[in-house]
């Protein structure tokens, strides 16, 4: 009985101070996710004007896209980004600029892309803050 009472404090302190025989893995066991970068319209325009390759993705609805869009944008609505990205955006290291109307959908789409392993994503927010040229199907 005395041996049992002597062991109880040892077990208690072992649990309390984390005496654990298992070695903890070093680093994160999940693949590292690159967070999307938030940029302004001016920064996005400067990137576009550099002449380096990029893909501009409009994540609004088809009707919004027809009304007004940035020239060269491809339409992948936010609710379809997860199912269409790998086919339509095959290079996960390519520069991708994402926009919507005001910024909420572009943020969600950029996070989805990051979660899928895309590494060079720029969330440029909404077209409402875009003060440069646009095009429309209704001109």
Q: How many angstroms separate the Cα of 57 from the Cα of each of 29, 51, 71, 131?
A: 31, 17, 11, 17
Rg (CA), the chain: 25
Look up residue 105 and give its DSSP letter. H
**Residue 19 is among the residues annotated as catalytic for this protein:** no
- Angle formed by the axes of helices 81-88 and 104-115, nearest 10°: 60
Q: How long is the chain?
A: 139
- Annotated catalytic residue: which of 85, 98, 100, 114? 100
Over the range 62-75, which residues count as b (16 or more CB within 10 Å of their CB) and which as e?
eebbeebbbeebeb
Burial class for 5, CB neighbours closer than 10 Å (0-12, 13-18, 19+): exposed
* Catalytic positions: 100
């Amino acid at each position: 009985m005395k041996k049992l009472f002597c062991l109880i404090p040892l077990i208690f302190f072992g649990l309390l101070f984390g005496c654990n025989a298992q070695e903890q893995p070093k680093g994160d066991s999940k693949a590292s996710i690159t967070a999307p970068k938030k940029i302004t319209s001016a920064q996005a325009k400067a990137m576009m004007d550099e002449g380096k390759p990029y893909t501009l993705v409009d994540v609004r609805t088809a009707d919004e896209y027809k009304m007004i869009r940035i020239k060269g944008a491809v339409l992948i609505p936010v609710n379809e980004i997860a199912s269409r990205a790998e086919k339509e955006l095959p290079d996960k290291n390519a520069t991708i600029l994402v926009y919507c109307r005001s910024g909420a959908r572009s943020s969600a789409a950029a996070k989805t892309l990051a979660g899928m392993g895309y590494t060079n994503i720029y969330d440029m927010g909404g077209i409402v803050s875009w003060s440069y040229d646009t095009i429309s199907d209704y001109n």
